[in-house]
C-alpha cells in the first residue's frame, strides 16, 4: 500500500460558522480571520494505492461552477487536483475508485466536470462510492443544508452508471480500508480508516475539520446536529487515543496529520507531521 497527499488549493469560510459557539477572541488565535471574518482552509485529499486499485478520497471543490459561485469562497493557491496527480505520475484516468465521504460541494465538486454543455464524471474509469442513506439525504436536502448539496455535483454521478453504494452492514472499501459513520455534521458521513504498516490512519472529513476542532466544544455551526457531533467527537477521540490512531485532516490549512495524548484539559494534539513522514 502507498499513500499520497493530494493538495487541491485553499478556500475561505466564515470563522464564526466554522467554530460555532466558541468566541472569536479564542478561535481567532487558532486560525486568524481576514477583514471579512473569513478564515483560510485547505482542501486536502488522500490517494491510496492498494490491492491493484487507485482510490481517491474526496475530490475538492472542482472548477465547473460559475465565477459568481467561486467569488463567495475566494479560491487560492497554486495546487489543483490535476497538478497534484501529475506530480505523482498519475492522471484522472488512472483513478479506479472515487470515495466520497459526503456530498457537500467542497468534498465532491471535483467528481463531475463540465465539457461544453454536458456534465460528466471527471474520472471516467472510476467507480464512485457513497451510501444509500446519505445519498437520499443529499438528493432531497433540507432547507438549511440545500446550499451545500448541488444537484450538478450529485445527479450526474448516478446518471453515469458509475455509482455504487457501500454496504452499511459491512462497511469496507478494501481489506485495508474500513469505514466509520458519523451523523452530526450531515446524515451518514463516512470516515475511512486505513490500515497502513501496522498503524491506523483516519481521514477526518468534517468530523474534525482541523486540529483546532479537537477540543469538544469546537463544533461547526454548519453541523446539522451539533449535540450528535459532540457525542461522536468524544467517542472517536477516546477510541483514537486508546488505539493510537493517526488523524489526517482534510481542511486544516497547516497540519496534515497528528497523534493525540491525554492532558489535564482533555484529549489534545501530541505531535503533528506530514503524511510522507509516517514510517
**Mean pLDDT within 235-260:** 98
Q: Measure the CA–CA gap between 92 and 104, rounded to whole angstroms.
A: 21
Per-residue pLDDT, 279:
81
C-alpha to C-alpha distance for 39 and 159, rounded to whole angstroms:
36
Position 58 scores a pLDDT of 98
Rounded to an integer, what distance in angstroms lies between the CA atom of residue 73 and that of residue 204?
A: 21
Q: Say what the pTM is.
A: 0.97
What CATH number belongs to 2-277?
3.60.15.10
Whether 121 and 128 have beta carbons less than 8 Å apart is answered as yes
pLDDT at 168 over 90: no
Are 58 and 250 in contact, with CB atoms under 8 Å apart?
A: yes
Greater pLDDT, 279 or 167:
167
Task: Check: CB of residue 123 under 8 Å from CB of residue 54.
Answer: no
Domain limits of the chain?
Answer: 2-277
Residues 6+ positions from 197 with CB-CB distance below 8 Å: 1, 278, 279
If you average pLDDT over residues 49-68, what whole number do you get?
A: 96
pLDDT tens digits for range 113-146: 999 989 999 999 999 999 999 999 999 999 999 9
Say which residues have a Cβ less than 8 Å from residue 66's Cβ, sequence separation at least 6: none
Q: Stretch 37-52: mean pLDDT, rounded?
A: 97
Q: What is the torsional sign of CA 237, 233, 209, 212?
A: negative
Give yes or no for residue 60 having a pLDDT over 90: yes
Using a pLDDT cut of 70, give the percent of the chain over it.
100
Q: Are strands 172-174 and 177-182 parallel, antiparallel or unpaired?
A: antiparallel
Q: Considering just the CA atoms, what is the radius of gyration of the chain in Å? A: 18
Amino acid at each position: 500500500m502507498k499513500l499520497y497527499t493530494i493538495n487541491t488549493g485553499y478556500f475561505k469560510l466564515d470563522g464564526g460558522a466554522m467554530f460555532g459557539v466558541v468566541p472569536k477572541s479564542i478561535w481567532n488565535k487558532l486560525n486568524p480571520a481576514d477583514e471579512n471574518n473569513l478564515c483560510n482552509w485547505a482542501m486536502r485529499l488522500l490517494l491510496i494505492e492498494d490491492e491493484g486499485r487507485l482510490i481517491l478520497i474526496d475530490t475538492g471543490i472542482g472548477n465547473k461552477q460559475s465565477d459568481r459561485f467561486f467569488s463567495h469562497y475566494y479560491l487560492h493557491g497554486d495546487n489543483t487536483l490535476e497538478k497534484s496527480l501529475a506530480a505523482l505520475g498519475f492522471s484522472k484516468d488512472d483513478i479506479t475508485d472515487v470515495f466520497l465521504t459526503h456530498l457537500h460541494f467542497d468534498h465532491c465538486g471535483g467528481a463531475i466536470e463540465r465539457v461544453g454543455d454536458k456534465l460528466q464524471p471527471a474520472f471516467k474509469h472510476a467507480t464512485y462510492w457513497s451510501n444509500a442513506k446519505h445519498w437520499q439525504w443529499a438528493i432531497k436536502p433540507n432547507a438549511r443544508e440545500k446550499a451545500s448539496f448541488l444537484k450538478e455535483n450529485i445527479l450526474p454521478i448516478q446518471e453515469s452508471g458509475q455509482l455504487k453504494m457501500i454496504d452499511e452492514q459491512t462497511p469496507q472499501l478494501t481489506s485495508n480500508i474500513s469505514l466509520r459513520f458519523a451523523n452530526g455534521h450531515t446524515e451518514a458521513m463516512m470516515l475511512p480508516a486505513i490500515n497502513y504498516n501496522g498503524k491506523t490512519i483516519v481521514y477526518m472529513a468534517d468530523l474534525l475539520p482541523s486540529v483546532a476542532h479537537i477540543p469538544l466544544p469546537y463544533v461547526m455551526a454548519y453541523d446539522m446536529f451539533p449535540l450528535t457531533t459532540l457525542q461522536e467527537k468524544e467517542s472517536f477521540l477516546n477510541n483514537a487515543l486508546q488505539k493510537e490512531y493517526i488523524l489526517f485532516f482534510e481542511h486544516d490549512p497547516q497540519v496534515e496529520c497528528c497523534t493525540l495524548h491525554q492532558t489535564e484539559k482533555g484529549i489534545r494534539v501530541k505531535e503533528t507531521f506530514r503524511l510522507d513522514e509516517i514510517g
